[in-house]
Amino acid sequence: MKIIENNTVKEKAYFEELENGLKVIIIPKKNTNKKMAIIGTKFGSIDNHFIKPKTKQEVTIPDGVAHFLEHKMFEQADGTNSLDTLTALGVEANAYTTNDHTAYYFETIDNFEPAFKELLNYVFHPYYTDENVEKEKGIIAQEIKMYDDDPISKVFLNALQCMYNACPVRIDVAGTVESINKINKDILYDCYNTFYHPSNMVLSVCGDFEPEYIINLIKENMEKMDKQDRIDRIYPEENPEICEKFKEEKMEVSIPTFVIGIKDEVEDTDIVRKELLLNIILNCIFDENSKLFKELYEEGLILSEPDLEYEYSNIYSHMMIFSPSKEPKKVYEKFKQEVSRLINEGIDEKTFNRTKNKIYGRLITSYNDASQIARAFMRDYMNNIVSFDGIEKWKKINVNDANEMLRNKFKEDKMILSVIEPKN
């Protein structure tokens, strides 16, 4: 196994690629009770047009298939449900689907081995029938309608639709009621056999055990198969300009909510360094210690620190700022004014260092939690990143790097505002 060690957090990560193509990451953590295992496949809502690696056939699938597959993975041919089996073992288990991947995980203190075997069993042994697929359509349709009525989900989706013209990130992860009605068991098996091959998956495990024990456990509980060729994914060409500047929708809310979005370009760059810098810049502009936040708070325009995030994949890249506010448009105007001021004057070194140290502290303390470690390594490795890279690159960035990134990435013509207003 390849071993990468980081002296700052005093952790080692063991990497191995199995004969079937499965990428395995093991992070042993001594003297901890919690154990976490998470397996992810690079199949998300954006992957609806691709070429099958075996037949070279070009395929287009309905929106929402990745999410539908996630729902169906727990049901077994013997009538059991793996989620119930895991719960009976006393472990906390779940799954999720994002724009670019799907993951299944559990965390526990006891019964790790039987839970791990169950995870491998249900992920690599799907069971779909005409009847259980039709039944699931009703359940997912209700979920879609629930999210349609959820102001937070809606304000984020509207923000993505403002930023992107053609990129499938603008499509709801669950699809629509109309699109899921086109899904059948043949489509599910076809996508499963394409995207759930071990060659397209990453398994990350963290806890107090020896790496060899985990590798042997995997090999003993997985069928042998050959590696699969790379999956060629087809995406529409995205216009670099935003789609629309502003979108407002009225819903049953007591106070308006907003998302400020900043569209970024997808580029061949050091993504770890870029993510670190953008997170520092966002916090310099709008965290609870910033000049902008204090001003908005004193004026009663904002009541708590907003959520600040940077998201990226190989086909999209953007920043989002989310918060409730009585007057979102005023907040947006003041945000643009503050960005303009900082571009002209520059982020001062004291503010930069304070913010950098705060976020660095969060990163370091995340290594105290087995769950956060396993998730981070799985997600990063899907993007060809080793999670330790962030710790080392953090030390090398400075205020000049931040100001250059601020000037290049925070342009008003790439900014949008999505608002949910009360109906009355």
d(CA 24, CA 205): 8
Catalytic residues: 70
Closest by CA to 8, choosing from 270, 393, 398, 399, is: 393
Beta bridge mates, 51? 58, 232
Q: At what angle do helices 151-163 and 130-148 cross, to 10 degrees?
A: 90
Closest by CA to 99, choosing from 138, 63, 61, is: 63
Helices (H), 47-166: 65-72, 82-88, 112-123, 130-148, 151-163
Beta bridge mates, 28? 207
Which residues, including other chains, have CB under 8 Å from residue 282's CB and lie 6 or more apart? 308, 309, 310, 319, 321
Q: At what angle do helices 65-72 and 185-195 cross, to 10 degrees?
A: 90
d(CA 280, CA 161): 26
Length of the chain measured in residues? 424
d(CA 68, CA 52): 19
The residue type of 212 is E
3-state helix, strand, coil in the chain (%, to 5): 45, 20, 35
d(CA 415, CA 334): 13
Q: At what angle do helices 328-345 and 291-298 cross, to 10 degrees?
A: 150
